[in-house]
Amino acid sequence: MIGDAFHIVFYQPLYNGLVFLVSWVPFADVGIAIITLTILVKFVLLPLTHKSTKAQRKIKEIEPEVTKLREKHKEDKQIQAQKMMELYKEHGINPFSGCLLFIVQIPFIIALYWVFWKGIQNGNFDPGALYSFVDVPATVNLNFLSLVNMSEKSVVLALLAGISQYFQIKLSIPTLPESTNEGNKPSLKDDFMRSFQLQMKYGLPIFVAFIAYTISSAVALYWVTSNVFTIIHELYVRHKAKKVTLIAKSRT
């Protein structure tokens, strides 16, 4: 039942979107259709992405205040958590927005994987999964820009997926502040967070590159497009935040 619901709500609309785009993009290029569909999905999720990015920026801005609160109430974790939530509320921050964005994106990501992995089999589309108003393209070109076959593996696209994932993580994960413990000895929590960041920063890109190569060029191209979109959005938000800060300073 869950599988049927997932197929109807997520997989089928995205699959039909891809087939429709193949009929309209130049040269019936499946690669261009994949890029277009990925960007469209990212735009649908953009309000949540933008809200999450702004929340992360605000959390980074108030990091000194958070550090002081943690140090001040380090003996009472309950009061510490209460004061931190009050601080977040004061600055209009939802610390769980990033988790919400991730949860919302999961079904879309899984559906896109299936569309790009199983939905494209040597250029043959499944008529049974198509809506009545979506026709099977007369011609299908699996060679993206006449360079890469989307149904095969590509080392280059897999490497680009891993590299773009690295820069996306580097931009989105804030650098942890230096430990405030006596003797500058990092606590167990600091060690865990730094270890987690290192795994995310270096381990995830390697994992992404491996999966992108193992599955197909179609999935690798999706990952590259998604990461580049996220990087551009992150840079845009940063630029806008700096501009607002400069305007505010000029008025004081």
Per-residue pLDDT of the chain (252 residues; tens, 9 = 90+): 557 888 888 888 999 999 999 988 988 899 999 999 999 989 988 887 777 777 777 777 777 887 887 788 777 778 877 877 888 788 777 666 656 666 777 787 788 778 877 776 666 777 778 888 888 888 888 889 989 988 888 999 999 999 999 998 888 765 555 544 444 455 555 555 566 667 777 888 999 899 889 888 888 999 999 999 989 988 888 888 788 777 777 776
Contact 141, 28 (CB under 8 A): yes
**Residue 61: its pLDDT value, please?**
75
Q: Is 185 exposed, middle or buried (0-12, 13-18, 19+ CB in 10 A)?
A: exposed
**Residue 4: its pLDDT value, please?**
81
Domain total of the chain = 1
Strand 148-149, strand 143-144: pairing? antiparallel
Residues sharing a CB contact under 8 Å with residue 201, sequence separation 6 or more, in sequence order? 166, 169, 170, 173
**Residue 111: its pLDDT value, please?**
84
**Residue 232: its pLDDT value, please?**
92
Q: 3-class DSSP state for residue 113?
A: helix
Range of the domain at 37: 2-251
CA–CA distance, 220 with 210 (Å, rounded to integer): 10
